[in-house]
């Protein structure tokens, strides 16, 4: 009986010790994250005026003047109007908010698809500041 109590106590100590050491490790999800105070925030509002079901998957992106993404893309979710993107700053340049068909979502032949004009901003982007972009998707017939 005494052996079982000793083994139980040792097992409990191992479990507690493992959880403490695991809680001190920030893990891969938080490593290399830009602190928000030193980051430029791009806030994209998506204004959809229609109640139409989408048959493709769309994503929102922030791109630079050469068309390269500066932050990970976010999947557009109907009903969600605001999306935040962060990048290191300060910098001077051009940033463009776009809504495009997601490349990994597959492209379907839809009766109607969303079209959104890109929204650019240029100038000096300062960390700690937020820059707003407003996208107004419209439906248009699918072009083959």
CA angle 90, 93, 48 (to 5 degrees): 100
Q: List pLDDT tens digits, range 68-97.
A: 999 999 999 988 999 999 999 899 999 999
pTM over 0.85: no
Taking the C-alpha atoms of residue 25 and residue 35, their distance in angstroms, rounded to an integer, is 17
Q: Domains of the chain, with CATH numbers?
A: 36-141 (2.60.40)
Nearest to 117, CA basis, from 141, 100, 93? 100
């Amino acid at each position: 009986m005494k052996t079982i109590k000793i083994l139980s106590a040792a097992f409990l100590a191992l479990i507690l010790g493992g959880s403490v050491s695991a809680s001190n490790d920030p893990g891969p999800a938080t490593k290399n994250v830009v602190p928000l105070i030193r980051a430029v925030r791009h806030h994209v509002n998506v204004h959809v005026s229609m109640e139409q079901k989408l048959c493709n998957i769309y994503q929102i992106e922030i791109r630079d003047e050469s068309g390269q993404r500066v932050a990970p893309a976010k999947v557009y979710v109907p009903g969600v109007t605001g999306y935040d993107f962060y990048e290191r700053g300060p910098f001077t340049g051009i940033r463009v908010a776009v809504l495009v068909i997601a490349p990994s979502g597959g492209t379907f032949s839809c009766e109607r698809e969303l079209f959104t004009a890109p929204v650019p901003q240029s100038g000096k982007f300062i960390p700690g500041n937020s820059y707003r972009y407003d996208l107004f998707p419209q439906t248009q017939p699918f072009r083959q």
